[in-house]
Amino acid sequence: MKQSHLFTKTKKESPADEVSLNAELLIKAGFINKEMAGVYSYLPLGLRVIKKIENIIREEMDAIGGQEMKTSILQNKEIWEKSGRWSDDVVDNWFKTKLKNGGEVGLSFTNEEAYSDILKQYINSYKDLPIYPYDFKSIFRNEIRSKSGIMRGREFYWKALYSFSKNEEEHNEFYEKAKQAYKNIFQRAGIGHLTYLCFASGGSFSKFSHEFQTLTGAGEDTIYIDENKGIAINSEVYTDEVISDLGLKKEDLVEKRAVEVGNIFSLGTKFSEPFDLKYKNENGEDKLVVMGSYGIGLGRLMGTIVEVSSDDKGIIWPETVAPFKVHLLSLGDDENTRSEADKLYNELSEKGIEVLYDDRSDVSAGEKFADSDLIGIPFRVVVSKRSLANGGFEIKKRTEEKGKNVSKDELFSILLEPRT
């Protein structure tokens, strides 16, 4: 993509009403637009990041048997009355609205009821199970606090998968697979080294749920981590009993701030009971389906990446989720430089390398460098009179201080190198 074509421009000033680093950087660099507290639009650069994250999650969900679908955002009140969750006394963060011809609908704040109601039509026999449907969806929650930028929105985009299994054993088997898939996702998104499997409160059907908590001062949770074992306990269940149940020692645990980037939950028959979600087993007996839920907030994950990966100049995207792999900068108004840069842009694009090409002729070199650092694309390639005189192109990683001049062949071999 040519930067002259990109309608967003970077901003020099930080937004006055943002206290979170992720929103500040993402707004300045033109990834998102703030509509109101807790509500953000994703601009072209931001959407590219969301799509990268979405693809990673989709690959990992499909690999464990997930089937992608799309549930509606407007939700039928009757369905939620079945579980008792329509009541504002039970759920305090609903957005609800009235229909013109009478009646009320709710905007999805979660998905268990919607899935239970749909799947009820398709689950009859033991042969129909297990199944793992999921979707990516906008979710609406009337959160009281929303000061964490895209990490806590009133409208946010998530992935939710629900597992429907014949029994506890089958459920547990999938639960472990999902745990591993989640680890893969956070690893691939570049925050694996900071992300802990965290024991949290479970509910009536299991002692614990599991959260994936990423260490950052911007998080709202307090967790106690065992660095060597790579596991953590959420402060909400941090007791002597739990510590010893998990085979941990108090002296090995360190208190940290963290953000929940995802969670997995055994639901047992909490929803299959009210929805009468049953199947016939091999002996023709009716059995309740055992469910689990598995969520990840994509905006929360994107915001977390920014929180843990930036410097005073801007964002530092991991290559896997970056909006582009290469930021190509053409400097100066020299004819030859311009035509060499155009040529390189075409060649990189032909090789399938994603490039943002700063081809703007009315912007100074200094501004181009500053924009490049702020936007945070992993590789910066500069074409200038000087680079050409030195034999080619200057390549620099966003994480490095100094670049080096390389020939076109060397440039391609660096950029086509498989990621480690």
Angle, helices 335-350 vs 408-416, to 10°: value is 30
Q: How far is the CB of 320 from ligand ATP (least distance, A)?
A: 18
Examine residue 300 and tell whether it contacts ligand ATP (CB under 6 A): yes
* Binding residue (CB under 6 A) for ligand ATP from 28, 85, 152, 325: 152
Site string for ligand ATP, 86-115 (x = CB under 6 A): ------------------------x-----
* Binding residue (CB under 6 A) for ligand ATP from 59, 62, 143, 410: 143
Please calculate the CA angle 179-185-191 and round it to the nearest 5 degrees.
110
Q: How far is the CB of 204 from Mg ion (least distance, A)?
A: 17
User: By CB under 5 A, how many residues form the interface with Mg ion?
Assistant: 1
Q: Between 155 and 373, whose beta carbon lies closer to ligand ATP?
A: 155
Examine residue 219 and tell whether it contacts ligand ATP (CB under 6 A): no
Please calculate the CA angle 327-330-333 and round it to the nearest 5 degrees.
160
Q: Which stretch binds ligand ATP (CB under 6 A): 7-15, 290-298, 377-385, 395-403?
A: 290-298
Dihedral (CA of 191, 192, 195, 197) sign: positive
Q: Between 130 and 149, whose beta carbon lies closer to ligand ATP?
A: 149
Q: How far is the CB of 110 from ligand ATP (least distance, A)?
A: 6
Long-range contacts of 238-246 (CB under 8 A, 24+ apart): 242/199, 246/199
* Binding residue (CB under 6 A) for ligand ATP from 30, 66, 130, 153: 153
Examine residue 357 and tell whether it contacts ligand ATP (CB under 6 A): no
Residues in a beta bridge with 405: 394
Rule CB under 5 A: which of 224-283 touch Mg ion? 260
CB atoms near residue 221 (< 10 Å) = 18
User: Who contacts 306 (Cβ-Cβ below 8 Å, separation ≥6)?
Assistant: 21, 22, 25, 26, 315
* Binding residue (CB under 6 A) for ligand ATP from 263, 266, 272, 384: 263
Cα distance between residue 83 and residue 405, in whole Å: 64
Cα distance between residue 258 and residue 217, in whole Å: 7
Terminal-residue alpha carbon distance, the chain: 26
Cβ(368)–Cβ(331) under 8 Å? Answer: yes
* Binding residue (CB under 6 A) for ligand ATP from 30, 190, 297, 323: 297
Q: Tell me: cis bond preceding 130? Omega within 30 of 0 counts.
A: yes
Examine residue 140 and tell whether it contacts ligand ATP (CB under 6 A): no
Q: How far is the CB of 288 from ligand ATP (least distance, A)?
A: 23
* Burial class for 345, CB neighbours closer than 10 Å (0-12, 13-18, 19+): buried
* Binding residue (CB under 6 A) for ligand ATP from 56, 57, 261, 277: 261
Examine residue 327 and tell whether it contacts ligand ATP (CB under 6 A): no
For the chain, give the number of residues: 420
Examine residue 392 and tell whether it contacts ligand ATP (CB under 6 A): no
153 binds, among Mg ion, ligand ATP, none (CB under 5 to 8 A by kind): ligand ATP
Cα distance between residue 31 and residue 16, in whole Å: 17
Which tokens in the block code for residue 125? 């026999």
Q: How far is the CB of 396 from ligand ATP (least distance, A)?
A: 33
Q: Between 152 and 368, whose beta carbon lies closer to ligand ATP?
A: 152
Q: How far is the CB of 161 from ligand ATP (least distance, A)?
A: 11
User: Which residues make up the interface to ligand ATP (CB under 6 A)?
Assistant: 110, 141, 143, 152-153, 156, 158, 260-263, 295-297, 299-300
User: Which residues make up the interface to Mg ion (CB under 5 A)?
Assistant: 260
